[in-house]
Amino acid sequence: MVNYSVVFHGPLMLGNAVSGGSGESGISPLQRFQARIFVEERSVEGVISEPLEGMFIHWASDLEHLLVEDSLCTVHGRLIVRAGGQNLQWEVNSYMCFPFPGNPDDDQYMNRLPPPQPGALHAIGLCTRSTVPSDPNESCLRSFELRTTVYDRSNTDNHSTSFCVRCYLPAGPRFQATPIPERNALVAVAGEIIGVHEESGVIAILLHELIFLSARGQKRPAGDDINITSSGLGSTPRKRRAWDACGSRSGQKVNRQALVPSSPTPAGSSQDPLHVEDGVGIFGCG
């Protein structure tokens, strides 16, 4: 089984620390935070534009680089989704993390933050199904579902997790002549996170790039897996013009005490083993 990497890049608003934050000399402290991905307001039919609540995992290189609660960070890391629907559970494991300077306990910290920006996803996977509206427009877009499989160390059965991402092709000349991938076609996508798909509850992205790695897919019979919808506007989400603190801020100073990880990993150890399949090196994520 080939494991791909789904990469998240963008800002995360950290909330309560779940664990981590201290360790012995020579140990890489493991930190876990409740976190929020900001979603920009958009009117796309079938998409709920809501901030995405999940988990952020960070291995600090040393005690001087520990993250703190209620802070804003720009993160580059791998993303895993372990459940969908109304119980969407995502997790971002940090490759690189750049915290916004300042003290989150300062009353003016939130006022100094830059304007909220949505995160982006880069993924590789197979097209499973698609939707082609009868009259595509800026709010009623063509879309397809991409299924990917990523390395997941916490899954003791086969060390992998499979999940789906809903991909929307923007209206306009750039993607006007781009066909929807056939079923089982292998594609790479990159795009802005715009919320969750209303029916399936999977993460939805607005594509910036679509690359056909293997256009060979299973030809669909007429009408199979294609939902014809009429154009129309979805419900308009409420506006969000500033970061919402998620977690611990309640007017009191935040307790920075944290837990020592039960099974720390020595500094310099690899978190991303290299998988070699059929003579091709594929970096797993774990």
Report which of 132, 79, 107, 122 is spatially closest to residue 285, judged by C-alpha positions: 79
Q: Which domain holds residue 233?
A: 7-283
CB 38 within 8 A of CB 116: yes
Burial, 257: exposed, middle or buried (Cβ in 10 Å; 0-12, 13-18, 19+)?
Answer: exposed
Q: Residues 162, 167, 169, CA angle at the centre, nearest 5°?
A: 160
Nearest Cα residue to 255 out of 114, 43, 69, 62: 69
Phi-psi region of 105 (alpha: psi -120 to 50; beta: other; left: phi over 0): alpha
**Is residue 134, in this structure, part of any structural domain at all?**
yes
2 falls within a domain: no
Give the pLDDT band of residue 238 (cuts 50, 70, 90): low
Q: What average pLDDT does range 20-35 have in this prediction?
A: 71
Domain count, the chain: 1
Lowest mean pLDDT among 4-13, 40-49, 220-229: 220-229
Residue 196 belongs to some domain of the structure: yes
Q: Give the model confidence (pLDDT) of 107-161 as tens digits.
A: 899 999 998 889 999 999 999 999 999 888 888 999 999 999 998 888 778 889 9
- Distance, in Å, from the CA atom of 57 to the CA atom of 52, rounded to the nearest integer, reads 16
pLDDT band at 217 (very low <50, low <70, confident <90, very high): low
Place 28 in a pLDDT band, splitting at 50, 70 and 90. low
Helix (H, G, I), strand (E, B) or coil at 205: strand
What CATH number is given to the structural domain containing 215?
Answer: 2.40.50.140
Percent of the chain having pLDDT more than 90? 49
Residue 188, domain member (yes or no): yes
What are the distances in angstroms from CA 117 to CA 3, 162, 193, 259?
29, 27, 10, 31
In 20-174, which ranges are E strands?
27-28, 30-37, 47-48, 52-59, 72-83, 89-99, 120-131, 143-151, 160-168
Written as one string, the DSSP assignment of 97-135 is EEEPSS-TTSTTHHHHSPPP---EEEEEEEEEEEE--SS
Q: Does some domain include residue 155?
A: yes
Helix, strand, or coil (residue 151): strand
Label residue 268 left, alpha or beta by phi (over 0 means left) and psi (-120 to 50 means alpha): left
Q: What's the chain's length in residues?
A: 286
Residue 1 included in any domain: no
Q: Are strands 186-197 and 7-19 parallel, antiparallel or unpaired?
A: unpaired
Q: Which two tokens stand for residue 94?
A: 């940090």
**Amino acid sitting at position 50:** E
Amino acid type, 110: M
239 part of a folded domain = yes
* Residue bearing the bigger pLDDT, 124 or 263: 124
pLDDT digits (tens, 9 = 90+) for 32-47: 999 999 998 889 999 9
**Pick from 18-27, 67-76, 96-105: least confident:** 18-27
